[in-house]
């Protein structure tokens, strides 16, 4: 997950491959609540692991519900059988509407029936998201609900006991958010000693979400009778009973970004999206029809969608998006790639989501140069013409969907006109529903190699290149190439095979076939974790020896280039700026006095439990410097255009800030 201030995207060119969607947010949080309230134990597979489910799980635990993760990643919830073991709790629900609304209903009803005092609160934006319609419906039933802040908005206190009036139908508005009706449907079975009737006022929006609610209630043994979309009856004697085991389907709203990606950029082969298919429960899967209307070619499979570019440019459409409110945001960005305007209507609910999404979308699309008109419940986006494109820093308003859909703008053909397509501010906000969104995207997209930025950090041993590289890459969300590890692995593998480090042909042949891979900060040769073995001083000397052989350097050249992947690379070594990435936009040559470097290496070895001797280290380090500087092939010298950084008396943090400052000066968006 990227926890950085901003993410710079290079112009993207194509997309291919297969991805697995995270679990649906809407299904995950409904299932968690039902499983917690039901009788019996429920095992949930493919549950979404993100901020919105984390706050729900924390709240359930605070309410006395036990749950645990299983070795296979599934989650087991011990149902409470409709009775809370705690009579007081204060729950923080972040910005998760799918947790706030149903928990408010559940706790209001249980407090009324059994007594208790519960508080629900969230982040400041949650306290601006209306809940009055639900609170009014619950008050009409007799629940005692206190507004702790602005009336009609969280935070709320839910108290009891109170006498529940279930003889009359409970009325709830359906035209602001369907989550109010969902909250009542999920929780009224807790008090259904008699038939409980819910009547919807106004035209119900987002009906597919109610279908999800009804389908899940059915799995928990509650068969709600529905008359049109106006009247719902929970039969007397309804009880929530665990079905035992359940699977969460992939998130259909999250699928929209990849359906769009396929439509925009899968020109060779389809992009395969696993986790939803033709029998998907979620209404947002119908986003695929909208994308098809714009020109996407979509093959529906049982549990996957295969999407490729069809009509190009895309076709502008006019669509009532009331059934696909979340996924519809993606259409607004696709509209930039069309040949006629796209008009999205029925999106009034965007105004009360994580942010005012109509205003946010219009503002940010305009930053890219698009012409956009907006109304109370509609948005019209015009195709982005060549002369209008502008690279922009996209504000995401702490809204995961803003970050995800705007990343697609980097595919715009005009984005290639600038070295940096666009900047996404606060990309970490995707953690709400899709913590690995950007990593998933980067695995699927392609860019011209020369468009992918590289920062080179070269310098002598123990100058701190590796440390600086890691920190800078972390701050930019870029990949890392620790090229010394490739020479070290070659030396290690040669020694294991009994090949002398001076045998150029055999060592080079070994380097060409190295089965190396990096994962979770560890380095593997075949299946063996060689991370620690690589750091032995002796292997460092061996690496220096094999690195002096031109055939070995040539053998490792391609492998090093293959690390240049979207969104960017920070490469550390001796010849990154001079030989491997000579056109890199930023080259840093990092040095420190030999004494300081020996002292750092000494401390490093001792802290890892290795024995070390200062004089010996200084001697080895100077010998290595000499060998690296004087070899004929790619010697250790600063590139002509490198910035020199002597960090003998500079802390790690100060070195990182210096490099980031140099980098910012090279960017379209200086810090």
Ligand X SMILES: Nc1ncnc2c1ncn2[C@@H]1O[C@H](COP(=O)(O)OP(=O)(O)OP(=O)(O)O)[C@@H](O)[C@H]1O
Ligand Y SMILES: Nc1ccn([C@H]2C[C@H](O)[C@@H](COP(=O)(O)O)O2)c(=O)n1
Q: How far is the CB of 532 from ligand X (least distance, A)?
A: 13
Catalytic residue, candidates 52, 133, 251, 326: 326
The residue sitting closest to ligand X, measured at its beta carbon, is 464
Q: Decide whether 302 or 653 has the Cβ nearer to ligand X.
A: 653
Contact status: 547 vs ligand Y (CB under 6 A): yes
Alpha carbon separation from 615 to 281, 427, 433, 541, 620 (Å, rounded): 69, 47, 54, 16, 9
Contact status: 487 vs ligand Y (CB under 6 A): yes
Alpha carbon separation from 32 to 23, 26, 84, 155 (Å, rounded): 13, 10, 15, 22
Residue from 463, 483, 578, 647 that binds ligand Y (CB under 6 A)? 483
**Using the 8-state DSSP alphabet, how is residue 87 labeled?**
S
Tell me the sheet residues that pair with 245. 43
Q: How far is the CB of 467 from ligand X (least distance, A)?
A: 3
Pairing label, strands 392-394, 378-381: unpaired
Residue from 363, 418, 531, 604 that binds ligand X (CB under 6 A)? 604
Site string for ligand Y, 619-638 (x = CB under 6 A): -----x---x----------
N-term to C-term CA, the chain: 22
Of 557, 601, 594, 595, give the one whose Cα is nearest residue 576: 557
Active site residue 326: yes
Q: How far is the CB of 332 from ligand X (least distance, A)?
A: 45
**Using the 8-state DSSP alphabet, how is residue 188 labeled?**
G
Q: Decide whether 51 or 628 has the Cβ nearer to ligand Y.
A: 628
Residues in CB range of 498: below 8 A, 6 or more apart: none
Contact status: 459 vs ligand Y (CB under 6 A): no
By a kind-dependent CB cut-off of 5 to 8 A, residue 651 interacts, out of ligand Y, ligand X, none, with ligand X
Of 464, 512, 514, 509, give the one whose Cα is nearest residue 492: 514
Contact status: 396 vs ligand Y (CB under 6 A): no
Q: Which of residues 307-336 bind ligand Y (CB under 6 A)?
A: none
Tell me the sheet residues that pair with 373. 380
Of 473, 475, 440, 446, give the one whose Cα is nearest residue 457: 473
Residue from 574, 587, 597, 601 that binds ligand Y (CB under 6 A)? 574
463 assigned binding-site residue: yes
Q: Decide whether 98 or 483 has the Cβ nearer to ligand Y.
A: 483
Q: How far is the CB of 613 from ligand Y (least distance, A)?
A: 18
By a kind-dependent CB cut-off of 5 to 8 A, residue 283 interacts, out of ligand X, ligand Y, none, with none
Distance CA(337)–CA(600), nearest Å, equals: 53
Please choose, out of 202-210, 300-308, 514-522, 539-547, the segment that lies near ligand Y by the rule CB under 6 A.
539-547
Contact status: 591 vs ligand X (CB under 6 A): no
Contact status: 488 vs ligand Y (CB under 6 A): yes
Q: Decide whether 127 or 557 has the Cβ nearer to ligand Y.
A: 557
By a kind-dependent CB cut-off of 5 to 8 A, residue 309 interacts, out of ligand Y, ligand X, none, with none
Q: Which pair of tokens denotes residue 652?
A: 């790690």
Half-sphere exposure of 503 (CA within 13 A, CB side): 13
Distance CA(311)–CA(315), nearest Å, equals: 8
Alpha carbon separation from 213 to 41, 98, 276, 529 (Å, rounded): 20, 12, 18, 47
**Using the 8-state DSSP alphabet, how is residue 409 labeled?**
G
Alpha carbon separation from 650 to 283, 378, 464, 572, 598 (Å, rounded): 56, 55, 11, 19, 16
Q: Which of residues 428-487 bind ligand X (CB under 6 A)?
A: 461-467, 484
Contact status: 564 vs ligand Y (CB under 6 A): no
Residue from 427, 484, 567, 568 that binds ligand Y (CB under 6 A)? 484
> Total binding residues for ligand Y by CB under 6 A?
14
Distance CA(105)–CA(596), nearest Å, equals: 64
DSSP sequence for 433-463: T-TTHHHHHHHHEE--GGGS-EEEEE-STTS
Q: Decide whether 345 or 604 has the Cβ nearer to ligand X.
A: 604
Q: How far is the CB of 590 from ligand Y (least distance, A)?
A: 11
467 assigned binding-site residue: yes
By a kind-dependent CB cut-off of 5 to 8 A, residue 655 interacts, out of ligand X, ligand Y, none, with ligand X
Residue from 24, 233, 355, 655 that binds ligand X (CB under 6 A)? 655
Q: What is the dihedral of CA 554, 555, 558, 560, to 10 degrees?
A: -90
The three-state secondary structure class of 407 is helix
> Total binding residues for ligand X by CB under 6 A?
16
Q: Where are the beta strands (DSSP E) in 175-317?
A: 196-201, 225-227, 231-234, 245-247, 271-274, 297-300, 304-308
The catalytic site residues sit at 326
Q: Which residues are annotated as a binding site?
A: 25-26, 30, 97, 129, 177-179, 206, 326, 353, 357, 401, 432, 459-467
Q: Which residues are annotated as a binding site for phosphoenolpyruvate?
A: 25, 97, 129, 179, 357, 401, 432
User: What is the binding site for ligand Y (CB under 6 A)?
Assistant: 461, 483-484, 487-488, 540, 543-544, 547, 573-575, 624, 628
Q: Which residues are annotated as a binding site for ATP?
A: 459-467
User: What is the binding site for ligand X (CB under 6 A)?
Assistant: 461-467, 484, 540, 600, 604, 647, 650-652, 655
């Amino acid at each position: 997950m990227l926890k950085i201030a901003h993410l710079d995207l290079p112009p993207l060119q194509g997309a291919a491959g297969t991805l697995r969607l995270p679990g649906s947010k809407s299904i995950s949080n409904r299932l968690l609540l039902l499983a917690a309230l039901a009788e019996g134990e429920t095992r949930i597979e493919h549950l979404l692991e993100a901020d919105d489910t984390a706050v729900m799980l924390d709240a359930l635990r605070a309410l006395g519900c036990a749950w645990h993760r299983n070795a296979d990643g599934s989650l087991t919830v011990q149902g409470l059988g409709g009775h809370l073991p705690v009579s007081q709790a204060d729950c923080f629900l972040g910005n998760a509407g799918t947790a706030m609304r149903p928990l408010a209903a559940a706790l209001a009803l249980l407090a009324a029936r059994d007594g208790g005092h519960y508080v629900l609160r969230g982040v400041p934006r949650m306290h601006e998201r209306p809940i009055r319609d639900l609170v009014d419906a619950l008050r009409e039933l007799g629940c005692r609900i206190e507004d702790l802040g602005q009336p009609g908005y969280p935070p709320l206190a839910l108290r009891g006991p109170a006498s529940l009036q279930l003889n009359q139908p409970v009325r709830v508005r359906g035209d602001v958010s369907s989550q109010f009706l969902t909250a009542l449907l999920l929780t009224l079975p807790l008090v259904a000693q008699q038939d409980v009737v819910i009547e919807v006022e106004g035209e119900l929006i987002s009906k597919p979400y109610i279908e999800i609610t009804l389908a899940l209630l059915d799995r928990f043994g509650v068969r709600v009778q529905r008359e049109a979309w106006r009247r719902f009856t929970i039969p007397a004697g309804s009880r929530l009973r665990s079905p035992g085991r359940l699977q969460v389907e992939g998130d259909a709203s999250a699928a929209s970004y990849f359906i769009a990606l396929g439509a925009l950029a899968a020109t060779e082969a389809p992009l395969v999206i696993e986790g939803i298919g033709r029998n998907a429960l979620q209404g947002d899967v119908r986003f695929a029809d909208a994308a098809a209307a714009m020109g996407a070619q979509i093959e529906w499979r049982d549990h996957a969608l295969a999407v490729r570019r069809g009509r190009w440019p895309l076709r502008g459409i006019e669509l009532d998006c009331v059934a696909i409110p979340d996924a519809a945001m993606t259409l607004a960005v696709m509209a930039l790639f069309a040949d006629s305007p796209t008009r999205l209507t029925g999106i009034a609910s965007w105004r009360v989501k994580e942010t005012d999404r109509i205003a946010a979308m219009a503002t940010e699309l305009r930053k890219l140069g698009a012409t956009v008109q907006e109304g109370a419940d509609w948005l019209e986006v015009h195709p982005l013409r060549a002369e209008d494109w502008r690279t922009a820093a996209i504000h995401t308003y702490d809204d995961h969907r803003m970050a995800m859909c705007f990343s697609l703008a980097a595919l715009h053909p005009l984005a290639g006109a600038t070295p940096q397509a666009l900047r996404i501010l606060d990309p970490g906000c995707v953690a709400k529903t899709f913590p690995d969104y950007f990593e998933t995207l980067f695995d699927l997209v392609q860019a011209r190699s020369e468009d992918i930025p590289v920062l080179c950090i070269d310098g002598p041993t123990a100058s701190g290149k590796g440390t600086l590289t890691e920190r800078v890459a972390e701050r930019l969300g870029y990949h890392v190439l620790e090229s010394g590890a490739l020479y070290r692995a070659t030396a290690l593998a040669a020694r294991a095979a009994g090949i002398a480090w001076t045998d150029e042909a055999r060592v080079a042949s070994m380097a060409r076939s190295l089965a190396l891979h990096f994962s979770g900060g560890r380095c593997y040769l075949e299946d063996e974790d060689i991370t620690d073995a690589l750091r032995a001083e002796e292997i460092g000397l061996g690496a220096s020896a094999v690195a002096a052989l031109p055939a070995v350097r040539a053998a490792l050249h391609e492998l090093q280039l293959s690390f240049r992947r979207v969104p960017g690379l920070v490469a550390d070594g001796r010849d990154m700026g001079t030989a491997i990435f000579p056109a890199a936009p930023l080259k840093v040559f990092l040095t420190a006095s030999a004494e300081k470097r020996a002292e750092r290496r000494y401390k490093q070895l001792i802290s890892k439990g290795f024995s070390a001797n200062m004089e010996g280290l200084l001697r080895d380090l100077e010998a290595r410097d000499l060998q690296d500087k004087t070899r004929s092939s790619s010697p250790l010298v600063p590139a002509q255009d490198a910035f020199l950084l002597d960090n003998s008396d500079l802390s790690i943090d100060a070195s990182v800030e210096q490099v980031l400052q140099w980098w910012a000066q090279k960017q379209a968006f200086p810090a």
